[in-house]
Amino acid sequence: MRVTFRGLALLSCLAVTTSMSGAYAAHDRQANAAHVGPRMKHVKFDARFTEPRPTLDGAGCDGLSAPPPACGLHERSISTFEAPFAGTSKVTVVGRFSAMAQKYQFTGTQTFSSVTITGCGEGGLVLEMYDGEIDPARFDPATRKLPGKHDWRIRVGSGTKRLAQASGGGTASWTMFWDNAATGAAPFVKGTLAGAIDCRT
């Protein structure tokens, strides 16, 4: 088979074009990977926690001149969490009894200097507690226990180290042991933190 000079030139150009296209495609894949950044992993968990009796850090009332009055409490405590959400947090709570709802309602924060989340790794986090609720009508006089609950979410930008880009939230349900409150025995609170977190892999 005869191969002309023009044919050889065309074959050479085709080879060069194919090679350059492959190089550009590889470059585009690398650029896209760099643009996307680290992959995120979705981790679900249930973690048990305990708290001692909180420390009253302040109180205040309003509505005294224009009823109904409402009084609030500022409390501080320490929460200890077990794996898969292992760490200790400083707890700050602000709450008040709602005359309309007939419930104690609160918000607050849980600050972890270090927490290890299975599937994500170790780092710092701040959890924001909201829609917290304690219903006195649910107090059990036989066992002297009172349940409570709140929702939580990770404060945007609070994560450090392996949790630097973490986001997520969930719910917490717990029980207060009033006999332990009276005697000072631990724990005063025992509960479960449930939810999901998206973190870097």
Question: CATH number, domain at 63?
Answer: 2.40.350.10
Same domain, 25 and 98: no
Same domain, 45 and 108: yes
pLDDT of 185 reads 72
Same domain, 70 and 20: no
Integer Rg of the chain from CA: 28
Same domain, 163 and 182: yes
21 or 110, which is more confident:
110
Question: What is the pTM assigned to this prediction?
Answer: 0.75
pLDDT of 9 reads 44
pLDDT of 30 reads 52
Same domain, 13 and 45: no
Confidence of residue 63 (pLDDT cuts 50, 70, 90): low
Domain count of the fold of the chain: 2
Same domain, 195 and 116: yes
Does residue 157 contact residue 125 with C-beta atoms inside 8 Å? no
- 3-49 pLDDT per residue, tens: 454 443 443 443 444 444 454 445 445 544 444 456 889 999 999 99
Same domain, 121 and 133: yes
Same domain, 179 and 82: yes
What does the pLDDT average to over 146-174?
Answer: 96
pLDDT of 66 reads 65
Same domain, 12 and 71: no
Same domain, 175 and 86: yes
Same domain, 184 and 91: yes
pLDDT of 34 reads 43
- 124-152 pLDDT per residue, tens: 999 999 999 999 999 999 999 999 999 99
pLDDT of 68 reads 65
Q: Which long-range contacts (C-beta less than 8 Å, at least 24 apart) are formed by 136-144?
A: 136/102, 136/103, 136/104, 137/102, 139/178, 144/177, 144/178, 144/179
Range of the domain at 7: 1-37
What does the pLDDT average to over 44-60?
Answer: 86
